Amino acid sequence: MNDSLHIVCPHCNAVNRIPAQRMDSAPKCGNCHEPVFTGQPIATDSASFEKHIARNDIPILVDFWAEWCGPCKMMTPQFAQAASQLEPYVRLVKVDTEAEQVLGARYGIRSIPTLMLFKDGKEVARQSGAMSTADIISWSKGTIYN
């Protein structure tokens, strides 16, 4: 592992360099001084989504969802619970496909919810359908570490 990792702040989108050994010690953003890890999924728009995918040195797990989607609503607390367990080693973000139709089209989202895992800026896995917290964590870790 590198001595430090680039992590995008969920509050101001500044890129922070965090020593790998300090990932578990509640680092704060050098720009806005807010916690870099919140244990909660981050709602993103197109600009912040691209920055998180391109600039984070940790894997990014994305939930493509919509407000009108029943299974999406059922999975929302499961995804939040997964965030509290996967951070600081995986960043969880949400993309509302109604508000961000361009992102949904760019990534070929045909059904929601759809989870996509990005590593080093590239999609490495995709899974459609609602999942439990345990399944989200297991699928993510299995994909990242295999």
- Could you give the residue numbers annotated as active site? 69, 72
Tell me the residue ranges of DSSP E strands in the chain: 4-8, 15-19, 42-43, 60-65, 91-96, 114-119, 122-128
**Residue 88, preceding peptide bond in cis (omega within 30° of 0):** yes
The type of residue at 67 is E
